[in-house]
Amino acid sequence: MKKNILITGGAGYIGSHIAERINTNKYNIIIYDNLVTGRKKLINKKATFVKGDIKNLKQLSNTIKKNDISLIIHLAAYLNIAEAEKKKGKYFKNNVGGTLNLVKACENSGVKSIIFSSSCSVYGNINGAVKEKHKLKPKSYYAFTKFKSEKIIEKYSSKYNYNYAILRYFNVAGASPSGKIGEIESSHGHLIKNLAIQYYKKNPRVNIYGNDYNTKDGTCIRDYIHVTDLANIHIKALKKISSNKKSLILNCGYGKGYSVKEIVNIFKKIKKNVKVYKQNRRKGDVAQIYSDITRLKKVLKWRPKFNNIKFILKSSINWEKNEN
């Protein structure tokens, strides 16, 4: 008998890639999204779509019970780091309040497993590779909402009888090799997405935010993971916590950091006549962070398939062709 999976934020960038990778011979997919940042064009054609908001507890509870949901992948959240600093109430209500609604909606339901999309930003400013056991010191308000949401997922797991996997994303980038789905939202300041947009400009320009960090070339260092590899991690994690009844916290990256300048230089080999502009640092950005994925590989027996930074960039450029 098929199990029913609810994906909150399933009409978004990461959610659409997860839905693409789910075996629909074994699972029914229910997408729950308010379409504020999600898009109808990204909704998987084999999924059932419910237009709903995680801030609406009653609607969320009804959706879970009506569709007999047993597995949840919780992605719905506001993501803009700069906006979060200016609109803290909005981000707390949606990201933290929405997560609290989600776990409350699991009461007296058949939900047994929850995957939560967290962020490496909960670690704060780390000088090098970071393990899951590292103390959490979120610097930005966005990171704080992820930190608080993690605690909610953990706190209510015994009360509402579910297992969980908290996945701490590093920098997600690229687009599906199928070319059918990719990242639409460009306001989050994601470097590779913005480079893909500039590829189709007559006079491409790139902003580098801060060149005075304590790093090898003065620019921020990040660990980029292809979105399809990340999607596969979700599916493996869901199977793991569903079968062994134990909860997990895992880093999701490749374990290697690239500086902004390194990424821009790779882009300049693909696209000529790129003008680079140095800007002030963005509030909330940390100097460098990349993952230690020893635990990820050991627990899930996961291995990356698309861990080539040039491929990640080119897949994003290929998707952007659909947007132009």
300 lies in some domain: no
Against a cut of 0.75, is the pTM above it? yes
CA 288/CA 104 separation, integer angstroms = 36
CA 124/CA 138 separation, integer angstroms = 5
- Number of residues that this document lists for the chain: 324
Does one domain contain both 268 and 237?
Answer: no
Does one domain contain both 133 and 17?
Answer: yes
Domain count for the chain: 2
CA 157/CA 134 separation, integer angstroms = 22
Q: Dump pLDDT digits (tens) for 74-85.
A: 999 999 888 999
Return the pLDDT at 121. 92
Report the CATH number at residue 273.
3.90.25.10
Name the residue range of residue 232's domain.
3-172+224-252
Cβ 308 vs Cβ 165: under 8 Å: no
Report the CATH number at residue 112.
3.40.50.720
Cβ 27 vs Cβ 21: under 8 Å: no
Does one domain contain both 61 and 185?
Answer: no
Return the pLDDT at 284. 67
Does one domain contain both 116 and 144?
Answer: yes
Does one domain contain both 148 and 210?
Answer: no
CA 222/CA 292 separation, integer angstroms = 13
Nearest-5° Cα angle at 114, 113 to 115: 130
Does one domain contain both 182 and 136?
Answer: no
199 lies in some domain: yes
Q: What is the mean pLDDT of each run of 10 residues along the chain (324 residues)?
A: 96 97 95 96 96 98 97 96 94 98 95 97 87 95 97 96 97 94 80 95 94 94 97 97 93 96 96 94 82 98 97 96 74
Q: Dump pLDDT digits (tens) for 101-138.
A: 999 999 999 999 999 999 999 998 887 799 999 999 99
Q: Which conformational region is residue 98 in: left (phi greater than 0), alpha (psi within -120 to 50 degrees), or beta?
A: alpha
Return the pLDDT at 242. 92
Does one domain contain both 16 and 165?
Answer: yes
Return the pLDDT at 186. 67
The strand pair at 221-222 and 171-173 is best described as: unpaired
Return the pLDDT at 324. 60
299 lies in some domain: no
Active site residue 142: yes
Return the pLDDT at 219. 96
Does one domain contain both 112 and 210?
Answer: no
- Give the Cβ contact number of residue 157 at 10 Å: 16
- The active-site residue, picked from 13, 123, 141, 142, is 142
At 97, list the tokens. Answer: 């309040």
At 245, list the tokens. Answer: 């009844």
Does one domain contain both 61 and 135?
Answer: yes
Residue 282: alpha-carbon gap to chain centroid: 20
Does one domain contain both 216 and 286?
Answer: yes
CA 64/CA 104 separation, integer angstroms = 11
Does one domain contain both 49 and 190?
Answer: no
